[in-house]
Amino acid sequence: MPASGEAAPARVAVLGAGGFVRDAWVPALKEAAAGGALVVAAVWSRSSESCWSVLPELQAISPGCAPFHGDGGLQALMGSPEIDAVLVVLPRQAQGAVIQAALRAGKHVLSEKPAAPTLQQAEQLLAFHASLPQPAPLWLVAENYRSIPAFLRLRQAIAAGELGTIVRLDMSADLALAPGNKYYESAWRRDSATMPGAYLTEGGVHFVAALRLAAEAAGFGQAVAAAAASRGVSDDLPHPDCLQGLLWFESGASASVSITTAAGAASIALRAVGTAGTAEAARGGLGSAGSRTFRLVQQGASDAAPTQFESSSPGLHDELLSFVRLVHAAGHAGPGGAARPAAPAGAVAAAAGGTAAGSLTLTPAEARSAAASDGSDPEADAAGGRAAAGAAVPGVAWPGGPSEEGISGGGKGAAAAPAALGSPAVRDEGRGSGDAIEGLPSEEDAYRISAGEAVRDLAVVAALLQSAEQGGIKVAVRQF
Is residue 393 within 8 Å of residue 48, measured between CB atoms? Answer: yes
Of the candidates 133, 74, 140, the residue with the CA atom closest to the CA atom of residue 108: 140
- Domains annotated for the chain, with CATH where assigned, are 10-143+316-372 (3.40.50.720), 148-313+450-476 (3.30.360.10)
State the Cα torsion 316-322-324-325 to the nearest 10°. Answer: 160
Is residue 134 within 8 Å of residue 331, measured between CB atoms? Answer: no
Count of C-beta atoms within a 10 Å radius of residue 121: 19
From start to end of 89-187, where are the E strands? 108-112, 139-142, 166-176
> Helix, strand, or coil here: 190?
helix
Cα-to-chain-centroid distance, residue 273: 30
- How far are the Cα atoms of 108, 130, 317, 451 from residue 138, in angstroms, in the given order? 5, 10, 19, 9
**DSSP code for 115:** S
Is residue 208 within 8 Å of residue 217, measured between CB atoms? Answer: no
Rounded Cα–Cα distance for residues 299 and 162 (Å): 9
From start to end of 187-333, where are the E strands? 223-231, 242-249, 254-260, 262-274, 277-284, 294-300, 307-311
Rounded Cα–Cα distance for residues 409 and 429 (Å): 45
Rounded Cα–Cα distance for residues 358 and 355 (Å): 9
Phi-psi region of 157 (alpha: psi -120 to 50; beta: other; left: phi over 0): alpha
**Confidence (pLDDT) at 377:** 34
**Confidence (pLDDT) at 375:** 38
pTM for the model stands at 0.81
What are the residue ranges in the chain where pLDDT is below 50? Answer: 1, 3-4, 332-362, 366-437
Rounded Cα–Cα distance for residues 139 and 183 (Å): 27
Count of C-beta atoms within a 10 Å radius of residue 180: 7
Of the candidates 478, 477, 455, 454, the residue with the CA atom closest to the CA atom of residue 228: 477
Rounded Cα–Cα distance for residues 162 and 140 (Å): 32
**Confidence (pLDDT) at 291:** 75
First to last CA, the chain: 42
State the Cα torsion 460-89-149-435 to the nearest 10°. Answer: 120
State the Cα torsion 194-270-209-442 to the nearest 10°. Answer: 160
Q: What is the 3-state secondary structure (H, E, C) of 365-412?
A: HHHHHHHHCCCCCCCCCCCCCCCCCCCCCCCCCCCCCCCCCCCCCCCC
**Confidence (pLDDT) at 247:** 98
Is residue 314 within 8 Å of residue 323, measured between CB atoms? Answer: no
**Confidence (pLDDT) at 366:** 45
